[in-house]
Chains A and B, each alone.
Chain A
Amino acid sequence: MSCYIDIGAIADIPLRGARVVKSAAGCIAVFRTAENEAFAVDDKCPHKGGPLSQGLVHDRSVTCPLHNWVIALDTGAAQGADEGKACTYPLKVENGRILLDCSALATTVA
C-alpha cells in the first residue's frame, strides 16, 4: 500500500540538479531534470558509494562525482560498460509538490 509524504516543492531543486532527503535508511537524492521531471534514487553510487546528489545531471541520468559512473535516474542502473544498480523510489509531483512513496522507504528500513 502506498503512502505519500510531501518532501518539498520541485522548485526548491535546481533544474538539472538534486537535493538530499535524509531518511532513517540513509540519504536519498531527489533529482530534477531539465524537462522538470523528478526522480528519487539512493544517494549512493553502486560503484564506490559516491554521493549521486553531488553529480552532474544530464538528460535522465547523473554522472557520479567520484569516478564518473553514469547512473540512469529512472532505473538506477549504471550506463555504458559499468555494471551496478542504485535503489530507486517511486514519487509523484502534484501541484508543484514532490510526494515520495514512503512504503518503499518502510520496506527498506525493514
Chain B
Amino acid sequence: MTTTLDRPAPTPSNPPPLQKAKQKLVVIGNGMAPGRALEKLFEQAPDAYDVTIFNAEPRVNYDRIMLSPVLSGEKTFEQIVIHGDGWYVKHGVTLYKGATVTQIDRSARTVTTARGVTVPYDKLLVATGSLPIVIPVPGHGLAGVLTYRDLDDVQAMLIAAKSRGTAVVIGGGLLGLEAAVGLREQGMDVTVVHLAPTLMERQLDSPAGHLLQRAIEQRGIKVLTKANTKAILGEKKVEAVLLEDGTRLVADLVVMAVGIRPNAQLAKDAGIIVNRGIVVDQSMRTSDHDIYAVGECAESHGQVFGLVAPLYDMAGVIAAQLAGDRDAAFKPMAVATKLKVTGINLFSAGDFAEGKDRQEIVLRDAARGVYKRLVIMGDKLVGTVLYGDTTDGAWFFDFIKKGTSIAELRETLIFGPSYAGGAPLDPTAAVAALPDEAEICGCNGVCKGKIVVAINSLGLKTLDDVRVHTKASASCGSCTGLVEQLLKVRLGEAYNPAAVQALCGCTSYGHDDVRRLIVAKGVKTIPGLMQALEWRTSCGCAKCRPALNYYLLCAWPGEYEDDSQSRFINERVHANIQKDGTYSVVPRMWGGMTSAKELRAIADVVEKFNIPAVKCTGGQRIDMLGVKKEDLPGVWADLNKAGLVSGAAYGKALRTVKTCVGSEWCRFGTQDSTGLGVKLEKFLWGSWTPAKLKLAVSGCPRNCAEATCKDIGIVCVESGYDIHFAGAAGLDIKGTELLGHVDTEAECVEVVAALTQLYREQGRYLERVYKWAKRVGYDTVRQQVMSDKARRRALYDRFVLSQRFTQKDPWAERVAGKDAHEFRPLADLRVLQAAE
C-alpha cells in the first residue's frame, strides 16, 4: 500500500484519480460464456468495473461440457469447477448464488431478483443461457421425467440410477447419447429413442451415424431410430414410454434431450429485441446500448449457438468492448463437433450435405472401424466427417476454415498430412504438419502457434504445464492427444508420458512389472529377485527393498520369509521412531472401545517407564510418546498382560477402524456401527498393505466417525450399509467414492475384505487407496468387488488365506525373545572406560 502513502491526502478539490466511482457491471447468469468474458475482462482492465453476478444455480461457475463425465462417474463436480469461490473473492466479484433475476428495469437501470434484491447497473450482461426443450406429449410432467442441462439434472439422474432400473433417453443427438452412456455406466438398462433415421444426424452423415449406432449398441444400449414418442405413461411417476407405432417401453426414468432453445424471456419482458434469441450486433450489444448478451441466449447474424467455441469468441468480444476496444467484433466461424464418450472417436466439421456441385472422397476400413469422408466444392474442402480415426481432424478443419485450395493435395488428401509417398507413419507427423494458426483446442480457441511458443519460451515439460499456461485441453480434454503430440514434437525423446516410472534407481522396471515378474518367475526371495531382474546395485536401496519385501509377502503368503532388514525401522521394532530417537507406542483399541482395566494398565506402564507424554490420537486410541528403545519389550510385556496388543500405528498396514456409538447408544443410530467396526478390525488386523489403511464406520448418515474421508468408510443406513472408498484427509483432502450398498453385515465384511485384498494386490508400495483407485479407475474397482460376485469371493478367500499367517501380535513375539538383538546394545564401553 505504499502508493497511498506517496499520494497527497485527498481533498474535495483534489480527488485522486482512483477514487472515481467504478462503473457497475451486472451479469445475469454464471455459465461458461460470462465466466470467460469476466476472465478476459479482468486480464485487460482489472479495475474498471464493480462486478455483481446473479446465478440462478446455487453454485460457482463450472464446465458444463464436462457434465457427461460427472454422470458417467469419471469425474466429480469439484473437478469441473472453473472458478472456485476464491476466484470471486480475488476479483472482488459479488456473486449471488441461487438468485434468479425476474426483472430488468431499463429506465431505472436496475435488476431485481425473485427475493426482491435490487441492484443498479451501468452496464448489464445478459447470459441467461438456454432451456431444454420439453416435448409437450401427454405425461411429460410426471415425476421421473428429466432434462439434461445442469448439475441438478445430473444429480437427479445419479439418484435415479441407484435403483439400477430402466431408462429411456428421448433424443439421439450429442447430449442424448452422452446421457445414455453415462446412465449405462451407472448400471441402468438404457434405450435411446430417436426421431431421425440415424443418430446425430445434424453432425454426422448416415454411414457415420450407423457406425456410431453400432458402437453405442456394443455398450449394451438399445437404439430405436425413426421412433416418435406419443406419450409418457404413469400414474404418479413415469412407468413407460409409448411410441407412435404402439411400442411400449418400460421406464423408471425418462431423459428428454431433444434440443435447447435460447432463454430470452427476461430480455423480452424488458422490451429488448428478441427473435429466436436476444438479437445482438457484432459488438454483442442488444437493442439497448448498455445491455450486452452472450452465450446460448444470444442471436448473432441470424444464428444461435450451442457449442462452446463460438460462445468463447463472443465472450472475448464482450470483454474487449467493456475494456474499451470499440472495434472488437464477433464473426461466427465454422465449428467442429466431437463426441465426449470414452472410446468413441468422432469428428465432424463444416457442411457435409450432398449436392450437385459437390464431390466427395471417402475412405473406409471396416476392420479398424474407420470411416472418413471429405466434402469438396470446387477446389475447396467444405466439410468432413471422421469416425474411428480423428487424428487429422484439426488439419482438415484448418482447410475448411481458411478456404485454402486443396487442388494439389487432392489425390492424397484423405490420408492426411502424414502421407508422404509410403514412408512409415509417424504418429506426430500430422500435428507437426499443422500450420501455426491451426486450432488445437476448440473449447478455448488455442492455436498450435500459441502452444509451441509457450512450450519453448516457458520451458513447459508436461501436459499439466501446457494446460496451466495456455488452457489448451483444459476444458473437455478431447484434444489432449494433440497437445501431447505437440509436446513430443517440441521436446523429442525428453517427453515420454507413457514411459513406465522405474521403481527406483536400482532398476528400470516399474512397480507393476516387478509384481508381475515375481509371480511369473516364481521368485521368492529379495536376492533371488534382484538376480532375476538384474538389479543394478548389489542389495538395492531404501526405496526398493521395502517395496520388494511387501510385494513378495503379498504374492507368497505363508511361504515368503519376511526380511526385517528390508523394513523401515518402525516396522522392524513395531513402534514409531521420534525425532530424538525414542519411540511411541500405540496399543490397539478395537473400534475405539476401551475399559478400566486397559486404561489402568496404560497408566501403570506410563508411570513405571517414566514415559514423558501421553496423547489421544485421531484414530481413537492412546499414544505413549518418548519410550526408550531398550524399554520397548518391557512396556509391551506389561500391556500384553492387560490384553493390549500392537496397534500397528507404525505400519504400512491396517491402522484404525474408527467408529461412532451407533444403534447401541445413539438415538439416530441405524445399525451397530461400533460392533461392525470391532468385527472389521478383528478381521483385518495384522494385514500388510501397500500403504497405511484407515477405516471408519458411522452409524447413520450424520457420519460422526467421518467415514467419508477414509481409505474405506462405511455409512450405516436403515436399509443396510453404504460402503465408500478412496477418501483422503492428509496431504490431499478428498471425499470418498461410493463403492456400493449391501444389505447385511456379513456381506459388508466380505466386500471390505475383498476390496482390501484387491488393493493389496494392485496398489503400488506407498500408494494410498485413493491414488490406487484413481489410477485403476473407480468403476474397475466397483466392477471387481461389487458386480463380479465370483471375483469378490476369490479375493475374499485370498485375503483370509493371507491373514492365517499374519495375525500374530508382534509385541508378544518380541516379549518372548524374537529379535532380542534389536533392543540391546552390542557392547557398553562406558563400564569399561570407567573401570580404566
Query: Which residues of A pack against B, CB within 8 Å?
Result: 5, 7-8, 12-17, 19-24, 27, 30, 34-35, 48-51, 54-59, 63, 65-66, 68, 70, 102, 105, 109
Contact = CB atoms under 8 A, between A and B. Distances in A.
B826 A19 contact: yes
Contacts of A105: 829, 833
B729 interface: no
Among A8, A19, A70, residue most surrounded by chain B Cβ atoms (within 10 Å): A19
Interface stretch (B175-183, B367-375, B533-541): B533-541
B821 interface: yes
Contact of A14 (B569, B573, B821, B832): B821
B520 interface: no
A52 to B, nearest CB: 10
Contacts of B570: 65
B542 interface: yes
Contacts of B826: 7-8, 12-13, 19-21, 30
Contacts of A102: 829
A58 B540 contact: yes
B568 A56 contact: yes
A65 B568 contact: yes
Nearest to B825: A20
A82 B287 CA distance: 69
B72 to A, nearest CB: 41
Contacts of B829: 5, 7, 21-24, 102, 105
Interface in B558-575: 564-566, 568-570, 573
Given A24-B829, A56-B566, A65-B569, A19 B821 contact: yes
A84 B566 CA distance: 25
B289 interface: no
A21 B825 contact: yes
A35 B565 CA distance: 14
A7 B827 contact: yes
Contact of B827 (A8, A34, A55, A59): A8
Contact of B833 (A24, A48, A49): A24
A49 B577 CA distance: 13
Contact of A63 (B542, B565, B573, B828): B542
Given A58-B545, A66-B577, A66-B579, A16 B830 contact: no
B538 A59 contact: yes
Given A56-B566, A65-B569, A22 B828 contact: yes
B15 interface: no
A48 B828 contact: no
A72 B576 CA distance: 25
A5 B565 contact: no
B762 to A, nearest CB: 25
A102 B833 CA distance: 10
Nearest to A105: B829
Nearest to B542: A63
B581 interface: yes
Interface string B530-555: 00000001111110011000000000
Contacts of A54: 569, 573, 577, 581
Contacts of B538: 34-35, 59
A45 to B, nearest CB: 10
Given A51-B581, A56-B566, A34 B825 contact: no
B352 to A, nearest CB: 59
Contacts of A57: 565
A26 to B, nearest CB: 10
Contacts of B573: 54
A57 B538 CA distance: 12
Contacts of A58: 537, 539-542, 545
Given A21-B825, A22-B827, A70-B542, A15 B565 contact: yes
17 contacts: A5-B832, A7-B829, A14-B564, A19-B826, A21-B825, A22-B830, A24-B829, A24-B830, A34-B539, A49-B580, A54-B577, A55-B542, A56-B545, A58-B541, A63-B542, A66-B579, A109-B833
Given A14-B565, A19-B821, A65 B537 contact: no
